[in-house]
Chains A and B, each alone.
Chain A
């Protein structure tokens, strides 16, 4: 407020303006920027994001951080030419051991650093854990992306056309949804060899349903909006309207659903591998590692810890991100 301004005589002249007619006011924040701001203010969401990023980082570079491959058995031949295998070694870090006790580490493999220990066959668990995480993540991402495409398209089309089409398509969804996952897997196991293929197909067959429900719900909300009507009056075809006008407005909830589906996929894979229908040896995934570790859970408990913790962190992390995204995308009052 300009209190105390002393006006001069010249101030009282008319500003003859010609340019009053062009509108120049506008608010300045882009939508995704404000979503990002909201997301990053949420502490849990950021923690989730950090966890996931760290795990991805280690999955990428972890296996190469030491000299072991995931299937390398650490062994040597001793003076009697017998094979000595580094099996069942608890986590050991020689340098730290020396630091804390002042003594050298004892044992046949005392020169190696096994951060997570070794398994029953003598393989380094650090390498296997991160390799397993890599496999799990890959399976999860691939299937979820495909599911997103299939499920989203199915839901959008079903919701858009409504009427009989929608009825038929939704009945099909209900039937598909009512078949338990285990039954699907069992049936698949008859036709397919067990392995990554089986897991991926099983996931593909089940995860798309959740996606399609979200997409359909969003479509029903949006399809009577005036901007969709405007596209229709401009002569847009159905495909154009569904995929180029409406889809961008449904991305938010779909991405959120993706964030929640990934842990499900990882867990499903883990479960299937655990019951023996999943990944074939010597490939490992988080699930097979848990299975391996389970056998020794009372004697060598360290073997099951790393994969279980990684699994738990993955699921927590994606859930946090999903929650944070859902909140950040929730409709708020727009500009003032």
Chain B
């Protein structure tokens, strides 16, 4: 998908200074997300990349309001959704924003038939006249994701992981959403099945022009599917930009270490590759002290003035 011209379009999703903290006990708070900001435009794919503990899943769940953000603003289609939701906003949110989950084993209700799982959204919002129409819509959706309509009467445990993910995609897609948050939705799948699912997602995007927030830790897959990328570490967005900007000119040392850690399916190259080491604790960098600096185009990096100067020298 080519990069959309931002000047002419309103962002579909605007996240500003999102903070998400979880109070675990009187003395201990998990600071999962610390002031993250990014925008997503209609029809594009935004890749959110990071390792465990980076806060990427939390961001996804906060955006779709499974959690209430501790502070910050999340605007979806122009409406503020970070605070208390009124009925109309909630209705819009629950229809136009959908999520695909990570674990194919746990994301489908084991006691429900596939047709009930996929049709749940239709049932809740009354989008189908009657059972027959719902079954029809579900059957169409099954075909679209590469399964056959006779699968509708079966239960999740009768399918493989890749097939279950397709059911999850169908469940999200049948609502005709404008934004789909894909929370590590391919991480639990075999490599060849990952390719199938990613191709399917691209096809869907071409047909419906929906936008994706693609959350993942596999950088090569993120580069393949995303238009723009945000790099997360310990709850901060340390670098963001188009995929070309990030991959051809990584500035932040964490991004550099992440890129150098990508394995190549090339034995000779792989044996000689050394990853750039990066340890936050001993690096002397304090993310909280940094601010967003632009380093060209839409490429931004988090850091103090001095750090930016060193890294871009």
In this assembly, does B160 line the interface, its C-beta being within 8 Å of a C-beta of chain A? yes
A11 within 8 A of B: no
Contacts of B313 in A (CB 8 A): none
Among B90, B105, B147, B175, the residue within 8 A (CB) of A23 is B147
Q: Is B109 an interface residue (CB 8 A)?
A: yes
**In the complex, are the beta carbons of A234 and B121 less than 8 A apart?**
yes
Assuming the contacts A230-B171, A234-B94, A235-B90, asked whether A25 and B106 have C-beta atoms less than 8 A apart, the reply is no
Q: How far, in angstroms, from A334 to B120 measured CA to CA in the complex?
A: 25
* Complex interface: chain B residues within 8 A of A30 (CB): 155
Cβ of B158 < 8 Å from any Cβ of A?
A: yes
Cβ of A229 and Cβ of B66 under 8 Å apart? yes
Contacts of A28 in B (CB 8 A): 158
Which of B95-103, B129-137, B214-222 lines the interface with chain A?
B95-103
How many residues of B are counted as interface, with CB atoms below 8 angstroms from the partner's CB atoms? 43
- Shortest beta-carbon distance, B207 to chain A, in Å? 16
Decide if A234 touches B107 in the complex (CB within 8 Å).
no
- Residue-wise, chain A 210-227 has the 8 Å CB interface mask toward B (1 for contact) of 000000000000000111
Residue contact A24 to B109, C-beta cutoff 8 Å: no
Q: What 1/0 mask marks residues of chain A from 227 to 267 whose CB sits below 8 Å from any chain B CB?
A: 10111111111001000010011000000000000000000
In the complex, which residues of chain A have a beta carbon less than 8 angstroms from the beta carbon of B163?
23, 26
- Asked if A191 is an interface residue, CB under 8 A from chain B, the answer is no
Tell whether, in the assembled complex, residue B94 and residue A235 are in contact, meaning their CB atoms are under 8 Å apart: yes
- Please name the residue on chain A nearest to B93 by beta carbon: A235
- Checking B102, B106, B151, B157 against A227 with a beta-carbon cut-off of 8 angstroms, the contacting residue is B106
Q: How many residues of A contact B (CB 8 A)?
A: 29
Interface membership of chain A positions 26-65, coded 1 if the CB is closer than 8 angstroms to chain B and 0 otherwise: 1111110000000000000000000000000000000000
A255, chain B: closest CB distance, angstroms: 13
Bound form: Cα–Cα A21–B99 in Å: 25
A227–B109 touching, CB < 8 Å? yes
A8 interface contact, C-beta 8 A: no
Residues of B within 8 A of A248 (CB): 109, 111-112
Q: Is B154 at the interface (CB under 8 A from chain A)? A: yes
For A234, give the chain B residue with the smallest CB separation. B121
Binary CB contact string for chain B from 135 to 166 against chain A (1 if under 8 A, 0 otherwise): 00000000000111001001101111011001
The reply to whether A21 and B124 contact each other, CB–CB distance below 8 Å, is: no
Expressed in whole angstroms, the minimum distance between the Cβ of B199 and any Cβ of chain A is 11
Instruction: List the interface of chain B (C-beta within 8 A of A).
Output: 61, 64, 66, 90-91, 93-95, 97-99, 101-103, 105-112, 117, 120-121, 124-125, 146-148, 151, 154-155, 157-160, 162-163, 166, 168, 171, 175
* Chain A interfacial positions (CB closer than 8 Å to B): 21-31, 225-227, 229-237, 240, 245, 248-249, 334-335
Extra contacts, 20 of them, besides A22-B148, A248-B112 (Cβ < 8 A), are A22-B146, A26-B163, A27-B157, A30-B155, A31-B111, A227-B110, A229-B66, A230-B101, A230-B168, A231-B109, A232-B66, A234-B94, A234-B98, A234-B120, A235-B91, A235-B125, A236-B120, A237-B124, A249-B109, A335-B157
